[in-house]
Structure 1
């Protein structure tokens, strides 16, 4: 008998001996895991794109937002000038109508623009906007009277600045976020947040530029300069704002079919429906703050503006024209500047915590700021504080809807087989959401202007905006409740699972305590045992005994 044979026999006779297996320990599940891992690593995309075209497109989309919602955010400065000069006999309702017409048109055509972008017609869409927005601003300078004390025709101001510019903005708005998102699939919330900063930056640049140019050159030449800046940045966007060539652009079979423009499946999604309602309430109360901020500060004595007439005068609170501690346009500038910080930080956290979760927090804070801080503001310092804090959170509120829709799509189409469907629907769902909000965006500022004219109190605007923003937050919470997690599990099931797990663990612990299993002595014994040698008695034949037996065998 050879030595190896004897060792084998010894192992068979041993009570604790185990047969040696040469078989592979790789199981079918491990094979599948390795296949999935290699597949995921093969298709994994870099966190940041490596092509220079992505970053020039990013800047081009920034300018698209710069010339859409940025001009809407700056309308408060134009309105403040109209009140004191060319439209001083027009009430606040009609003045708000110009700005609300812009936002109405931007949102109304969002669904159409989003579907055209999904189909790949980005050149025609952006090109149309690049013609209309500068043209409308140039025509505003032509239609406005040159004399500082001359009265303007309201219809011509509304047609140029409200209607023509608004149509051009509609081509820019959805394009800005949708085109940029195609280059940054792993940083979508941050990419959209940076693009959204275009609106807040424009809200700083355009009011400051307009106010100083009006002082030095006059209103007409100031508007010509603004139109020139709009034209240059629009041409840059037309050249460089192009989507990722790898992005899928499904063409519809027929542009006449209703399903081409309206995705019925979106309205079967409760999260999308509640979030759409939230955005509708958002626009009902958001822009009355921006459109009426300067005039509220002027009539409340917290700032001054140039002009000869204030349509709405609050008793015992008219500002002293000889004392000019702060020009009112600076309040709007501070609010827009602070929103840049909010758009960036909230969007960056949105990639980690979920864009919709971050949106809910920002919306709740904004509503409380309007209902509490704005209402109880009683001085210039508090007005500045309100503008800074509200601007920071409002930037996230108005900039995150596209990212939140992307969040809803990612959680709805969460499997690898359906993930591409969510990407292809982003433009259409975002556009449909904004189109539903078009009517509230028109009604909100007009109703707020009527309340000011009717009651001569800005507390009406504050209550209107605050309640609308709070209702928006409530709808967002409901949308979050219906939205499944990235794993596909519902929020309700996840909470129930965590509760049952926690309850089971506590019951097991209580049972152990009642049975006397857990004690200080047991803990000490366990610690002592854990530190003891791990050698245990064994009946297996040792190597030394085996060698002696082998040597004792006859040869």
Structure 2
């Protein structure tokens, strides 16, 4: 009994109230100097999901990439073809209107497709992809079918500028939010493959519209495009799945969205998107009309948009793979800055076919990183359960720039008679892209510092 009491008296009770372990002769270990177990590693930041939560491949994951490719082809790919419609309407149904007025059709198309993201992204986080894809398919195909019978400016605004792009928004955000839920380490290349569908759509749709409109009526041209989109979206509906947990519809409070804007890194990413969007789509819309201004043939002027988008197809796959190793923020910043510099240094002095082709190729390659790696950068600083909401809010803010950028460019050009006005339009676009790229890089610097060796 005395021995027992002595043993008890030799135990040390730490401040935490837990007895320290006793050695073989009854003397306690020095817990401070000889820890019995390693301290727990610090928890991961809340905005990062651990890689083991992602399958990184498998049938469902790669089928989602395939479905995402078709969803991008039919949504953003159609939007990337805005240049051919700007040129077509200026010489056909709406030739009595100014370039700026016609540009509102393209601007509304971009605004509603991107602006609806804040709602569609939230719905994706709540209920997943299935019903969103069905809704988007019905609305986009219906809008394009209705566009095929339009004859008046207001009708084009409603059908092609509002109804079809709202449907495209459901398709676009569902595809862009579903793919990252299956990948972490391979997210860059997966997003690059799926987003390359938008560039391929932007490559083929201008050629399709141009050639069909020369052989059949405008109505049947639009209906043919609508039928193609319907077929591809059926595949997207059957293949896109989500690897995230969806909690069902809940009451949405404004703070559920505004809380994300309290994080400085997310805010910088959003503002950089806003500035880049303001100038990014101006070359897509006005490259064809600018080429015609310099007396380049109609066919070659139309093909410039296709060349631009074809270069973007290669870019999104290649840079996506590079970004998984060199850092998504790193590669995306370089791509945006390069697109801005090229617009100022190459597009402004271009007057002949050769420099226009060179600009279309290099600009398409450089700008191609933005759409594929932008959402990947957003996912990198987000919880997987918030990807839909944060990507949607990101593009929704950018939609206001997309809404005004093209009409402002048209207003700068005016009646097209003053050469200096065309160059001012190009300088406006290039300066905004360059500023957006600089802010994107600054966000990366705040996160990991100035060292170019750091992968982020």
Aligned to 1:59: 66
Q: Do residues 357 (structure 1) and 330 (structure 2) align?
A: yes
Q: Do residues 304 (structure 1) and 304 (structure 2) align?
A: no
- Check conservation: 2:188, 2:373, Cα contact below 8 A: yes
For 2:137 and 2:161, the matched residues in 1 are separated by 16
The structure number with the bigger radius of gyration is 1
Matched ranges for 1:191-230 at <5 A: 191-230=190-229
Aligned to 2:246: 249
Aligned to 1:288: 282
Q: Do residues 334 (structure 1) and 268 (structure 2) align?
A: no
Aligned with 1:392 (options 365, 374, 377): 365
For 1:79 and 1:243, the matched residues in 2 are separated by 37
Matched ranges for 1:403-422 at <5 A: 403-409=376-382, 422=383
Q: Do residues 379 (structure 1) and 363 (structure 2) align?
A: no
Question: Bigger shift: 450-459 or 97-106?
Answer: 450-459
For 1:216 and 1:196, the matched residues in 2 are separated by 31
Change (3 A) 1:207 1:57: same
For 2:51 and 2:36, the matched residues in 1 are separated by 20
For 2:217 and 2:39, the matched residues in 1 are separated by 70
- Check conservation: 1:354, 1:407, Cα contact below 8 A: no
Aligned with 2:391 (options 417, 421, 430): 430
For 1:445 and 1:219, the matched residues in 2 are separated by 24
Alpha-carbon shift at residue 56 of structure 1 (Å): 2.0
Cα shift readout 1:133-152 (whole Å, capped 9, x = no counterpart): 11111111122xxxxxxxx3
Cα shift readout 1:54-106 (whole Å, capped 9, x = no counterpart): 22221111111111111111121122111111111111111111111011011
Matched ranges for 1:136-535 at <5 A: 136-143=143-150, 152-244=151-243, 247-251=244-248, 254-260=250-256, 262-264=257-259, 266-301=260-295, 303-305=296-298, 326-409=299-382, 422-453=383-414, 456=417, 457-483=421-447, 485=448, 491=449
For 1:228 and 1:442, the matched residues in 2 are separated by 27
Cα shift readout 1:496-516 (whole Å, capped 9, x = no counterpart): xxxxxxxxxxxxxxxxxxxxx
- Check conservation: 1:65, 1:173, Cα contact below 8 A: yes
Aligned to 2:82: 75
- Check conservation: 1:108, 1:436, Cα contact below 8 A: yes
For 1:158 and 1:43, the matched residues in 2 are separated by 45
Structure 1: gaps of 5 or more residues: 1-26, 37-41, 144-151, 306-325, 410-421, 486-490, 496-555
For 1:29 and 1:126, the matched residues in 2 are separated by 55
Aligned to 1:99: 106
For 1:64 and 1:29, the matched residues in 2 are separated by 55
For 1:140 and 1:358, the matched residues in 2 are separated by 39
For 2:170 and 2:116, the matched residues in 1 are separated by 8
Change (3 A) 1:46 1:466: closer
Alpha-carbon shift at residue 120 of structure 1 (Å): 2.3
Question: Bigger shift: 120-129 or 95-104?
Answer: 120-129
For 1:111 and 1:133, the matched residues in 2 are separated by 18
Alpha-carbon shift at residue 45 of structure 1 (Å): 6.7
For 1:186 and 1:102, the matched residues in 2 are separated by 34
Aligned to 2:25: none
For 2:91 and 2:377, the matched residues in 1 are separated by 40
Cα shift readout 1:260-283 (whole Å, capped 9, x = no counterpart): 4x141x222111111111000111
For 2:369 and 2:297, the matched residues in 1 are separated by 29
For 1:282 and 1:43, the matched residues in 2 are separated by 30
Cα shift readout 1:357-389 (whole Å, capped 9, x = no counterpart): 111101110000000010111311111111011
Structure 2: gaps of 5 or more residues: 1-32, 43-49
Alpha-carbon shift at residue 460 of structure 1 (Å): 2.0
For 1:274 and 1:34, the matched residues in 2 are separated by 33
> Alpha carbon RMSD of aligned pairs, Å?
2.4
Cα shift readout 1:474-531 (whole Å, capped 9, x = no counterpart): 2112211222x4xxxxx37x89xxxxxxxxxxxxxxxxxxxxxxxxxxxxxxxxxxxx
2:108 alignment partner, SS class: helix
For 1:477 and 1:29, the matched residues in 2 are separated by 43
For 1:234 and 1:407, the matched residues in 2 are separated by 28
Alpha-carbon shift at residue 339 of structure 1 (Å): 0.5
Change (3 A) 1:160 1:35: closer
For 2:82 and 2:36, the matched residues in 1 are separated by 61
Cα shift readout 1:297-350 (whole Å, capped 9, x = no counterpart): 00112x222xxxxxxxxxxxxxxxxxxxx5311111100000011111111111
For 1:398 and 1:370, the matched residues in 2 are separated by 18
- Check conservation: 1:47, 1:186, Cα contact below 8 A: no
Aligned to 1:149: none
For 2:172 and 2:365, the matched residues in 1 are separated by 21
1:327 alignment partner, SS class: helix
For 2:40 and 2:177, the matched residues in 1 are separated by 35
Cα shift readout 1:194-248 (whole Å, capped 9, x = no counterpart): 111011000111111111111122222111110100111112212221212xx22
TM-score, scaled to structure 2: 0.85
